[in-house]
């Protein structure tokens, strides 16, 4: 320890540690601690699961959530937080979790998860924010900022391309480079660059055949060298297949403990020269830096249980999405003496979080039935019928009796609310779903009540998207509450009673049926491989580009008020020639007005639509958003700035982001299919030319800003005479433009050789 600061003297320690001690530091001690080196004063630090609340296990512990954990606030999972589209709300939740982590003596909380919702069947979708990388990265950045503001580190996960639970420890996610960059890595990159999480957790799966835990390209070249990550890379629990290869690739800490086996392998590899001790030193340095960064003691102040419950309640209310509200049946405002029928066991026995490693032991749990009784007061008769059971252990006669009771309860009620959703065994870490359907017993109850009451409301509780076509046309309102955390019951009551105006928006499309989803035929794969055959066309990128009808589109969400959009302006700032990728080139402004009678919040969404793209691109992509709270009649001018990177695409040829000058549509509105404002602009600038090689086609040479002139010069000096007139012959060019230049050379004859072509390539690329 440094005597002046009380912190670790890392350079000194690296000189004092034995190879055996260094190797040991590259693995954890038990399930939740790093390894200490007592003789040198290196302490162990503690970590915990916790994307939506802590799971601190004091004795032993396990990764799957089987053993009990200390009470902690169960905040809404990412599926709900993402649907708030509220950066500040997500930051508040991250900060609250950080406060609880400090009080528990934790150094790192394992979250957030920013993996893309490639398929609605992924059993862990409740832990992820969106099908869109901008939403996922923006929310992930806010969560990390909030958490780390308390002096506790985040662990951004699961890096990368971890989009299913089926065979997750072995499956190879086979994905092309452009899709990888534009969709899957794009969810991680801004979080790393803007928030610098203390740790990044690598995923279980392989990526194009290589395990993430031993993928040097992923962990070192991309994460550190390209993105500038400064922290520690930790494995998912049990993700390391080859500890020696992992250390060489850039993995710093294997979790949990391997019982000394990994350390022994590392020591042996150093001894026989197959692993450079410098790689071990690099990993150990990062482990020591993490330990040094961590708080030494728990906070002396216990967290405010009630205040954190209130945050959970507010987040759950803001993350709920009002899918439909025919006839304005919501909010419910029953008068004294009226009766409200509450149908569905989930109203009494709430499902408020997902299952698996993120499962939280809550400080308390609110149920909607009791919360509605409190919200409506004693003068309103709230009557309940379970309608169904949450398990499958029910006879036909028992099921019929439950439905009959529900019908009787709803018959003379002044309002009817049906609670439905997915029971715990339907979705969890560890397995994927097989369909999008609600349990048949719930659909039977909804159908029976809807036949009786067309003004019924359905309230949903689920971590992944469920199909709604079976009842959407027969009920008046659908309120998608996702998994709302421990305060979900009171949050639902707030929404139904009108105490809170719904403002959530979908961060994933709700399809009519599973067959319409883009990954349908490539999920979850076979023979230890899953092919990402849909490429860029994930979620709304597929539905909107292919004009496939959906039940509810990405970005959709209603309110108890109404909003109007007007006065779009789009200003191109300059010619763009010398503008860097991260500098603004377009400024956008639009006015949104609350045209209703109650206060509300609207999410203004900006989509970019390339009109003359040089390569295949989605019809439009979300590139900016802002949530705006407005009083009745109030208006606000909302401003956005887009950079060239916002307009760019990944070039496989250049292995980099490239900007294509040209015509772009700017669309502004309330969802990917409700975009009342649109303007088309031409954005000039120098196109990013891909490097040429000897296999580049004649057409590519002629289209290249430097290659064109170099080639024309060569053709003019051909021993066969000036060949440039061939370039003016439209028919000839159409026939031969796709020929690689190296194939045309023999046809041209003369003294121009393959070696000359290589020199031309070098000359062009050096000039670029």
Q: Retrieve residue 498's tokens.
A: 């009108």
Q: Select from 115, 112, 92 the least CA-distant residue to 311.
A: 92
Taking the CA atoms of residue 456, residue 461, residue 463 and residue 464 in that order, the dihedral angle to the nearest 10 degrees is -20
Q: Select from 668, 661, 546 the least CA-distant residue to 611.
A: 661
For residues 478 and 458, is the Cβ–Cβ distance under 8 A?
yes
Neighbours of 121 (CB within 10 A): 24
DSSP-derived 3-state class of residue 632:
coil
Helix, strand, coil share (%) of the chain residues, nearest 5: 35, 20, 45
Distance between CA atoms of 653 and 664, rounded to whole angstroms?
Answer: 23
Which letter does DSSP use for residue 437 in this model?
P
What Cα–Cα distance (Å) separates residue 169 from each residue in 148, 239, 455, 529?
A: 30, 7, 47, 11
What Cα–Cα distance (Å) separates residue 600 from each residue in 34, 221, 676, 734?
A: 47, 45, 19, 58
Q: Say if residue 549 is exposed, middle or buried (CB neighbours under 10 Å; 0-12, 13-18, 19+).
A: exposed
Per-residue H/E/C for 321-367: EEEEEHHHCCCCCCCCCCEEEEECHHHHCCCCCCCCCCCCCECCCCC
Which letter does DSSP use for residue 197 in this model?
-
Q: Select from 700, 714, 724 the least CA-distant residue to 759.
A: 714
Element (H, E) at 168: none
Q: Say if residue 544 is exposed, middle or buried (CB neighbours under 10 Å; 0-12, 13-18, 19+).
A: buried
**Catalytic pick from 145, 236, 252, 367?**
236
Which residue in this structure is represented by tokens 């206060």?
A: 599
Q: Retrieve residue 200's tokens.
A: 């990044």
Q: Retrieve residue 759's tokens.
A: 């020199």
Distance between CA atoms of 335 and 350, rounded to whole angstroms?
Answer: 26
Q: Select from 609, 637, 603, 638 the least CA-distant residue to 623.
A: 609
Sheet holding 563-572, edge to edge: 563-572, 584-594, 635-643
Told to judge if 656 belongs to the known catalytic residues of this protein, a careful annotator would answer no
- Phi, psi angle pair for 670, to nearest 5°: -100, -10
Pairing of strands 108-110, 47-49: parallel
Q: Retrieve residue 181's tokens.
A: 């960059």
Neighbours of 631 (CB within 10 A): 11
Q: Retrieve residue 250's tokens.
A: 């850039």
- Phi, psi angle pair for 604, to nearest 5°: -85, 125
Q: Nearest 5 degrees, angle CA 88-CA 93-CA 99?
A: 125
Annotated catalytic sites, by residue?
A: 236
């Amino acid at each position: 320890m440094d005597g002046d600061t009380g912190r670790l003297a890392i350079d000194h320690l690296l000189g004092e540690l034995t190879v055996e001690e260094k190797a040991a530091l590259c693995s954890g001690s038990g399930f939740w601690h790093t390894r200490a080196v007592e003789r040198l004063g290196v302490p162990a630090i503690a970590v915990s699961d916790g994307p939506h609340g802590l799971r601190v296990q004091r004795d032993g512990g396990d990764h799957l959530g089987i053993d009990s954990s200390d009470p902690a606030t169960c905040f809404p999972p990412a599926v709900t937080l993402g649907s708030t589209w509220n950066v500040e709300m997500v930051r508040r939740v991250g900060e609250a979790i950080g406060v609880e982590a400090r009080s528990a003596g934790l150094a790192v909380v394992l979250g957030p998860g920013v993996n893309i919702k490639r398929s609605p069947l992924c059993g862990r979708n409740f832990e992820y924010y969106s099908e869109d990388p901008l939403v996922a990265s923006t929310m992930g950045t806010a969560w990390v900022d909030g958490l780390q503001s308390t002096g506790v580190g985040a662990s951004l996960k699961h890096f990368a391309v971890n989009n299913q639970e089926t065979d997750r420890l072995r499956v190879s996610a086979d994905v092309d480079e452009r899709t990888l960059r534009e969709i899957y890595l794009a969810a991680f990159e801004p979080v790393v660059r803007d928030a610098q999480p203390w740790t990044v957790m690598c995923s279980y799966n392989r990526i194009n055949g290589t395990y993430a835990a031993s993928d040097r390209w992923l962990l070192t070249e991309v994460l550190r060298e390209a993105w500038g990550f400064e922290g520690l890379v930790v494995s998912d629990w049990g993700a390391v297949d080859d500890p020696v290869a992992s250390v060489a690739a850039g993995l710093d800490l294997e979790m949990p403990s391997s019982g000394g086996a990994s350390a022994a392998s590392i020591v042996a590899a150093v001894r026989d020269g197959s692993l450079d001790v410098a790689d071990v030193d690099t990993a150990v340095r990062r482990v020591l830096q993490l330990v040094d960064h961590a708080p030494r003691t728990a906070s002396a102040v216990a967290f405010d249980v009630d205040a954190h419950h209130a945050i959970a309640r507010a987040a759950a209310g803001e993350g709920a999405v009002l899918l439909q509200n025919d006839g304005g049946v919501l909010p419910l405002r029953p008068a004294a003496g009226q009766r409200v029928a509450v149908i569905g066991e989930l109203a009494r026995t709430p499902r408020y979080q997902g299952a698996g490693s993120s499962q939280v032991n809550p400080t308390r749990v609110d149920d909607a039935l009791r919360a509605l009784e409190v919200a409506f007061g004693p003068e309103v008769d709230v009557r309940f019928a379970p309608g169904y059971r949450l398990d499958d252990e029910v006879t036909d006669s028992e099921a019929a009796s439950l439905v009959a009771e529900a019908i009787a309860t709803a018959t003379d009620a002044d309002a009817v609310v049906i609670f439905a959703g997915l029971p715990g065994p339907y979705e969890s870490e560890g397995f994927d779903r097989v369909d999008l359907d609600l349990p048949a017993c719930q659909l039977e109850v909804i159908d029976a009540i809807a036949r009786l009451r067309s003004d019924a409301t359905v309230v949903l509780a689920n971590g992944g998207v469920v199909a709604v076509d079976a009842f959407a046309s027969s009920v008046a309102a659908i309120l998608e509450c996702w998994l709302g955390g421990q305060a979900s019951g009171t949050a639902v009551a707030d929404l139904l009673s009108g105490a809170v105006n719904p403002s959530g928006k979908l961060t994933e499309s709700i399809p009519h049926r599973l067959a319409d989803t883009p990954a349908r035929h490539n999920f979850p794969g076979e023979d230890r491989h899953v092919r990402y055959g849909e490429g860029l066309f994930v979620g709304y990128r597929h539905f909107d580009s292919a004009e496939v009808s959906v039940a509810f589109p990405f970005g959709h969400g209603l309110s108890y008020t109404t909003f109007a959009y007007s006065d779009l302006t789009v200003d191109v700032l300059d010619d763009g020639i010398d503008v860097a990728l991260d500098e603004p080139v377009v400024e956008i402004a639009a006015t949104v007005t609350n045209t209703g009678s109650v206060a509300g919040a609207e999410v203004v969404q900006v989509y970019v639509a390339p009109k003359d793209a040089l390569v295949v691109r989605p019809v439009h992509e979300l590139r900016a958003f802002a949530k705006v709270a407005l009083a009745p009649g109030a208006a606000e001018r909302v401003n956005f700035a887009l950079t060239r990177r916002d307009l760019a695409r990944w070039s496989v040829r250049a292995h980099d982001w490239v900007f294509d000058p040209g015509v772009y549509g700017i669309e502004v509105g309330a969802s990917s299919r409700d975009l009342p404002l649109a303007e088309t602009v031409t954005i000039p600038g120098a196109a990013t030319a891909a490097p040429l090689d000897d296999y580049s086609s004649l057409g590519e040479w002629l289209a290249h800003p430097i290659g064109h002139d170099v080639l024309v010069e060569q053709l003019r000096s051909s021993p066969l005479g000036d060949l440039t007139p061939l370039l003016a012959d439209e028919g000839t060019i159409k026939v031969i433009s796709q020929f690689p230049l190296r194939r045309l050379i023999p046809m041209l004859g003369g003294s121009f050789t393959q070696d000359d072509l290589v020199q031309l390539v070098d000359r062009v690329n050096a000039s670029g």
